[in-house]
Structure 1
Amino acid sequence: MEFLTNDKLLIVGAGGMIGSNMVQSALMLGLTPNICLYDIYEPGVHGVYDEMQQCAFPGANITYTVDPEEAFTNAKFIISSGGAPRKEGMTREDLLKGNCKIAAEFGENIKKYCPEVNHVVVIFNPADVTALTALIHSGLKPNQLTSLAALDSTRLQQALAHEFGVQQDKVTGAHTYGGHGEQMAVFASQVKIDGKPLSEMGLSAERWEEIKHKTVQGGSNIIKLRGRSSFQSPAYNAVKMIEAAMGGEPFTLPAGCYVNDDKLGFKNVMMAMPTTIDKTGVHYSEPTGTPEELAELQKSYEHLCKMRQEIIDLDIVPSIEAWKNDNANL
């Protein structure tokens, strides 16, 4: 079996449903034979290890551990789903305190054991602030760490495909920006349905608001339908992000990235932007939208600033002016 690279890929939280799906997706896509499974829950991660070996992927060199030093040492690529899962009735923000403490430890492990890592993807919620926390504590450059945001856009794409009865990949430009949560900004102005602008499709304002609501509540709906939070879709999207960072096909759906941009007026946050992830890291561009859409994005940014202040007040990260003491790249 041919692999994209031989570099070590570390899956954090590999004993869980998202983590185990990431392991399988990475092997099926042929990213690397060298995959380390890390989790604090030994029976779970051991079970995933056994199952992956029993898949008998040719050439695979799968290991597992509950020791962070063993896990992180020599890792060149990392995906972490190692936070607490979202349960019914919880918002992403409810998870903030506990998961940001986990993110801080995760970042410290990167700094201590694998400072030469190439790229890191953080996908546990609330991803905007867990990823920001991890970045501050890791010492990495901003273009080396991203968070999962594409899932909101693929949910919007799905809803529009169902609305107009077209194959999902015929819906283009269906993107959400800002926060990966209920304050996300849902953009319509760049959407095309089989090449035709959404504005020409006769979609009423009332129906658009319903589609926006369905997109924002997409994660909650999965919990209602399946009795647990999403795991297959975040796993696949995260693996495609790390594949791009390994030198595979560039990832062009929105990703959460660090933005500190005077021109755009967005300062010191992780947020979903128009992005491309490739072997050189993540690169963002200015969002294009109507004045109303850009106003929604501004509101989403302000919400992210409030969440950032919460983790500062909880002493999970220092005040902004002190971030350089932990990470000289910020």
Structure 2
Amino acid sequence: MKSGFFTERPLVVIGATGRLSSELVFYSLLQRFSPRLVLCGGSMERLQGLKDEIEESGFGEIDIRITLSMEEAVAEGGYLLYAKSVQSGAKTREAMLLSNAPFAVECGQAIASVRSKVERVVCVSNPSDLMGLTLLVHSGLEPERVMSLSSLDTERFRRSLSRRLGVSVTEMSQVFTLGSHDGAMAPMLDMARVKGASLGQLGIGPEEETEIVREVKYAGISIYKLRGQTAYQSPAVHVLRMLMATDDMPFVIPTARYHHSQRYPYTFGSLPTCIDSSGCHHLSVECTERELVALNGAFASIENMKQQLIEAGYLPEPCEWQSRLQQREELVELI
């Protein structure tokens, strides 16, 4: 392996000149992820500016290619960050759904012809779970190799508990936020443990639980108000960890990926997972009835937007997916 890089396969960034993507590129170079970068965007001028800045940062001999074509970008496969989105307009998940979907379809179709060369794909284009699903279906990749960012929600749940209880996040277990990456997300209040104790045993009652859920759901807005800008550095850090996860250093924070079970068929959402050398895999989980109600609401939000994509022609009917996906059937039933 060249000079101690994590991989010699290229890091391909679709939507490279966005703030999160640009941050990811520099973090990847600091961590010696790959000596090969493929940067794809909508403006050759901005891509050239990014390339120039990388070259003047002193990372040594880095092979950097820039292109406006998704097909050219993914031609050699490798590790892919997908962050392509509209540059202006409405910012809610629902409003971005149909505007961003054509890009996800295009990228998925570009990947389809070279899918054997693709190691894994991480999607951050909003709504990330639905864009991840769209990209997956059109690419035909194994579900284990396509995932979207949702781990920030779990980290925000942990932060809320840490500050309220005055404990380290290392003293917590099963503190998860699952389902959708929106206002319907489901912090798992009953399974959470702090020093082995439940939230109820620690004196957290219904009113405080409601406040915790509110903090978690609106943490992104809070950061925007505090910093005057959307969070982009923390998601870039999480994306890089997801891309670099191995058997020796797995990423075990809940991640969104394709899920198909009797309870939640043909969907894409956040559940307990482990990303290792071969991709993102489901882990089993047991929920209380209260948690299932919350999770049902989260997956209902995803289902509603999935149906919009189908009606608009950006996704085929689920009955067609099986023939497209290189799938090992994973039925993970939630209790």
Taking structure 1 as the reference length, the TM-score comes to 0.91
Q: Quick one: which of 307, 310, 323 aligns to 2:308?
A: 310
Aligned to 2:108: 107
1:140 is paired with a residue whose SS is: coil
Aligned to 1:173: 174
1:35 is paired with a residue whose SS is: strand
Tell me which amino acid in the other structure corresponds to 2:304: K
Work out the CA distance in 1 between the residues paired with 2:201 and 2:17: 47
Residues 167 and 59 of structure 1, relative CA distance in 2, 3 Å threshold? farther
Tell me which amino acid in the other structure corresponds to 1:98: S
Work out the CA distance in 2 between the residues paired with 1:326 and 1:193: 43
Q: Quick one: which of 25, 35, 38 aligns to 1:36?
A: 38
Work out the CA distance in 1 between the residues paired with 2:70 and 2:98: 22
Could you tell me how far 1:113 is from its partner in structure 2? Answer: 4.4
Tell me which amino acid in the other structure corresponds to 1:314: A
Would the aligned equivalents of 1:72 and 1:110 in 2 still touch at CA under 8 Å? Answer: yes
Would the aligned equivalents of 2:71 and 2:111 in 1 still touch at CA under 8 Å? Answer: no
Aligned to 1:255: 255
1:183 partnered with 2:181: no
Aligned to 1:47: 49
Would the aligned equivalents of 1:86 and 1:229 in 2 still touch at CA under 8 Å? Answer: no
Aligned to 1:277: 275
Residues 173 and 273 of structure 1, relative CA distance in 2, 3 Å threshold? same
Could you tell me how far 1:115 is from its partner in structure 2? Answer: 4.2
Unaligned runs of 5+ in 1: none
Q: Quick one: which of 60, 63, 69 aligns to 2:62?
A: 60
Residues 301 and 157 of structure 1, relative CA distance in 2, 3 Å threshold? same
Aligned to 2:321: 323
Give me the CA root mean square deviation.
2.2
1:120-144 deviations in Å (ceiling 9; x for gaps): 1111111111111001110111111
Work out the CA distance in 1 between the residues paired with 2:295 and 2:75: 39
2:184 is paired with a residue whose SS is: coil
Q: Quick one: which of 297, 300, 305 aligns to 1:299?
A: 297
2:118 is paired with a residue whose SS is: coil
1:138 partnered with 2:136: no
Does 200-209 or 119-128 show the bigger shift? 200-209
Tell me which amino acid in the other structure corresponds to 2:46: G
Work out the CA distance in 2 between the residues paired with 1:102 and 1:217: 27
Unaligned runs of 5+ in 2: 330-335
Would the aligned equivalents of 1:15 and 1:46 in 2 still touch at CA under 8 Å? Answer: no
Work out the CA distance in 1 between the residues paired with 2:197 and 2:326: 46
Tell me which amino acid in the other structure corresponds to 2:164: E
Could you tell me how far 1:194 is from its partner in structure 2? Answer: 4.8
Aligned to 2:12: 10
Work out the CA distance in 1 between the residues paired with 2:282 and 2:88: 28
Aligned to 2:97: 96
Taking structure 2 as the reference length, the TM-score comes to 0.90
Work out the CA distance in 2 between the residues paired with 1:24 and 1:283: 28
Could you tell me how far 1:214 is from its partner in structure 2? Answer: 1.2
Tell me which amino acid in the other structure corresponds to 1:110: I
1:261 is paired with a residue whose SS is: coil
Work out the CA distance in 2 between the residues paired with 1:229 and 1:214: 16
Aligned to 2:213: 212
Work out the CA distance in 2 between the residues paired with 1:114 and 1:65: 19
Does 162-171 or 15-24 show the bigger shift? 162-171
Does 169-178 or 95-104 show the bigger shift? 169-178
Would the aligned equivalents of 1:104 and 1:133 in 2 still touch at CA under 8 Å? Answer: yes
Work out the CA distance in 2 between the residues paired with 1:103 and 1:230: 22
Could you tell me how far 1:41 is from its partner in structure 2? Answer: 1.9
Does 151-160 or 216-225 show the bigger shift? 216-225
1:230-260 deviations in Å (ceiling 9; x for gaps): 2111111111111116x66111001111111
Tell me which amino acid in the other structure corresponds to 1:184: M
Q: Percent identity?
A: 29
1:137-193 deviations in Å (ceiling 9; x for gaps): 101111111111101111111112221233444444321111111111111233333
1:62-102 deviations in Å (ceiling 9; x for gaps): 33222323311112110111123687x84222211111121
